[in-house]
Amino acid sequence: MATETPCYTVVFEDTTESPSTQELRASLEKGSDEDRLDALRRIIVSTINGNPQPTLLMPIIQYIMPSKNKQLKKLLHFYWEVCPKYDENGKLKQEMILVVNAIRNDLQHPNEYIRGATLRFLQKISKDAELLEPLIPTCRSCLEHRHSYVRKNAVFAVYTIYREYEHLIPDAPELMQTFIAAESDATCKRNAFVFLAYCAMPKAVEWLISVYDQLTSLDELLQMSIIEVIRLDCKNDTTHRPRYIRCMFELLNSSSHAVKYEAATTLTTLTQNPAAVKAAASCFVNLVIKESDNNVKLIVLDRLDTLRSKHEHILDGLIMDVLQVLSSADMEVRRKATSIILSMTSSRNVEEVVLFLKKQLQRTQEREFEKAPEYRQLLIQSIHVLAVKFSEVAANVVHALMEFLGDSNNPSALDVVAFVREVVEKFPHLRPSICDKLTQTLTEIKSGKTFRGVLWILGEYVEGLSDIQATFQEIRKVLGEIPILASEQRLLDEAGGDEEVKDEKKVEGSGRPKVLADGTYATETAYTSASSARLEAIKSASKPPLRALILGGDFFTGAVLASALTKLVLRFDDLTKDRPMANALRAESMLIMTSIIRVGQSKFVTVPIDEDSNERILNCIQTISELQETPVVHDIFLKDTKAAYSKMLVAQEKKAAEKKESESTQDHVVQVDDLLTFRQFSKKSADDPIDYVEDLGKATGAAEVREDFISNLSRISQLTGFSDPIYAEAYVKMHGFDILLDVLLVNQTPNTLQNLCLDFATLGDLKLVERPAVYTIAPHGFQSIKATIKVSSTETGVIFGSILWEGPALTECCVILNDIHIDIMDYIKPAYCTETQFRSMWTEFEWENRVNVSTNMSDPRDYLKHVMKSTNMSCLTPEGAMSGDCDFLSANMYARSLFGEDALANLSIEKTEAGIVGHVRIRSKTQGIALSLGDRITMCECPIAFELLYCIDVGVAQKDNKPSI
């Protein structure tokens, strides 16, 4: 063949109802236009899928080509595009002469639609020079047609022909230059300008300079093409750069959002002048505010963020304009804008930014405000960051944020608690006012988590004698009457709850009989008790918030309350000499604690008190009763807990600084013979130029191929044995969301293997993209076959298949291939998230895989590193929390797949004499990734198990050690 066969998308063909060649010929000859359309459509699909049916070429020329039906003509163009045009010797088929004559007639057709569609068809067959050469004069004449639809398609037809075969139209640049000078239609001008830009750049620049004064009045498409030409021209040394910069400034005021965006992006590549950078940034901000599409908003915000990172303080004056972006209703846009605002905030504008955020925070309390809870949480987190970073605004915002401690949206209240806790630690002069405000807010708090955070702050940072007494009074208000059990019992007695069970009434069930587990029938009977009804009424009665939480079974909050009271009593005892007052506080605290324990063991609570909370409260009672007798415990309550929190804050700041430094420093791998660039000798006059071709290469990974020979060898899988008639091995390469199989076949026989076909099948979320072709391999010959498999999720997949060929006497021979197991670790990358996000996802995800751990490794930390390495997961638990000598280890791990799937893991192990035992709990939203990671941990736990999985059948290897879900 003269040219290689083009590649087309494989279209599904229903072979069960596929008509024969004779039936298709009959439909083409005698059928109606609808029958002919259907037959031609079937022929095209069959040709695309590898069955060209050459015997139908002449019937199509005889019966379809003369038709005046426009749908048939359009479909006929598709057929000419895909049908074989050359014979076995690579020469053009004789029948194609008739086709060329018909195409020439269509190019001279009086209907402009047929002319334009035919010109578009010529662009699809631009590789076939023998077909195009007779059509060149007719194609050139279409440039002078009266209708713009014909002219604009003729320009691109000439462009594609000239690009492939310049000798067919050697004067095309001059022809286009003359055409664009006389043309009045905007689209035709744009197409001709694109031709000059890629085929004759000097002529394109010459025309651009000639229309320089009319740029703002040109059509949008032409303006976009002009911007692209300026980009291409500025890659080389050009004398028109100053004029181009003025041109970009003018296009910033265009009515088209696309032109504005491209002009602003190009302007930053042409110059680094602060005025130009500021103008481009202002244009981006206006686009975000005025554009309605949220995806466009995010794209422009990304570009604005990149610009800000390169020009730090030039854009600080635009921060109030960026704040207007928060008026968008989309939360992703708000989050992106907020991150930009936080990075642009400085000591000069922080007060204005915080004032704006506080106003937005007040607006979220309005009923009609859209997505108020999420937006409120985002604002609170942003104010938190600013207050910690700029201490001068902390005092102004902390009291305003504490108004939201009673927020019904629990995450917002928790964010406020985290903010207040950090502020009181970092700014000691604010502690008295903050603690006073917190004690006044106790009655408004509804959430148990919020109560625990506030009680911890009060226990650690309330220091004055009068402040401690005031805190006790407020705690008594939110607890209600003490002792809790006695007061609740009294209420029940007053309601007549001590009546005998004789008042109970028996009510027979009126429903159908129920079938028990053993197959027998039983009738439901309900007992209603007046005393139990009164007890439920007492439980559901209105109570103070902290009392309601304890009666509802939240004894963790009760344990935190006991710890806070213990710290307050110990601190009061150290500060005062008034023994009666100190003893009174001790007695009151012990009464509250014992009351919590007693009511937790009564019928008035929803669930009984747990052992941990019970033991914790008893320890607090013992500490208060002994006071100064055990100074070690005294220091633990008053010093160690606060020191631990300070250490945690320092660790968080250090981790954030390391992450920022790692993001800012990038490793650049260069070759030893690369050109050296001396920064002192080069002039930095602009940002990096926009090169879409380079960006496309980076996006597809074409520019990042740095695999060595050894790594390639490790990915080779042997598919057949050395004694088989055909030896086969496959190189498995992961490329984005695809798996590329490069299979090498070796004919080990002295015979020619005809009609050899390599069939693949998949198990799991894998899909074969390409249909295998048929090959013929000479004796002792080689054949390389490539196959692409699409991956749609992170799940363990298996590829299996066979090789079929025709043996002697047309007998069918077959070799079954070894299975290829896909390693999901190529699709899982380490990632990081906050503790709050981890807990939220852990609660949300429904699939859990529990893998038991039993290994002879001696160090728990070494086993943690081993699991992290084998699963590509990152450890979220801080290093300080795992430091020290201990036989127990618990750590959280997190990873994300290329498909956006989250994988969570919790490792809980214990060091024993026999080794390390425990378990790993894996949670994910989908079942596949949880099972796959569990299998991975099981395989890597012991090298023997890893080899068993590949040497023995998968089901047998996992029979005794398969994680359950």
DSSP for 682-715, please give it: S---SSPPP-HHHHHHHHHTGGG----HHHHHTT
Structural tokens at position 297: 């908003």
pLDDT for 905 equals 92
Note the pLDDT of residue 921: 92
Q: Extract the residue ranges of the chain whose pLDDT is less than 50.
A: 1-3, 497-511, 527-528, 667-668, 679-680, 682-685, 698-706, 943-965
Is the CA virtual torsion 486, 490, 491, 493 positive or negative? Answer: positive
Residue 483: is the preceding peptide bond cis (ω within 30°)?
yes
Under a CB-based contact definition with an 8 Å cutoff, are residues 432 and 399 in contact?
no
What integer pLDDT is reported at residue 906 of this predicted model? 92
Closest by CA position to 804, among listed 864, 757, 753: 757
Can you tell me which residue has the tokens 């005046």?
68
- Structure-token pair, residue 678: 């001396």
Q: Give bridge partners of residue 774 from the DSSP assignment.
A: 757
Where are the domains positioned within the chain? 201-271, 464-493+528-653, 710-822, 826-941
Q: Are residues 218 and 211 in contact, defined by beta-carbon separation less than 8 angstroms?
A: yes
Is the Cα dihedral 925, 926, 927, 932 positive or negative?
Answer: negative
Give the Cα separation of 121 and 132 in Å (integer).
11
List pLDDT tens digits, range 847-895.
889 988 878 788 888 888 888 888 888 888 877 677 777 788 889 999 9
Sign of the torsion angle spanned by Cα atoms 670, 674, 678, 684: negative
Instruction: Give the pLDDT confidence score for residue 2 in this predicted structure.
Output: 42
874: Cβ contacts below 8 Å, ≥ 6 apart: 830, 831, 832, 868, 893, 894, 895
- β-strands 753-763, 874-875: how paired? unpaired
The CATH number of the domain covering residues in 826-941: 3.30.310.10
How would DSSP label each residue in 406-428? T-SSHHHHHHHHHHHHHHHHH-G
DSSP assignment letter at 639: I
Superfamily of domain 710-822: Coatomer, gamma subunit, appendage domain (2.60.40.1480)
CA atoms within 13 A on the CB side of 262: 22
- DSSP track, 779-824: TT-EEEEEEEEEE-SSS-EEEEEEEEEE-GGG-EEEEEPPPEEEPG
pLDDT at 498: 47
Kindly report the pTM of this predicted structure: 0.64
Sorted by sequence, the CB contacts under 8 Å of residue 890 that are 6+ apart come out as 877, 906, 907, 908, 909
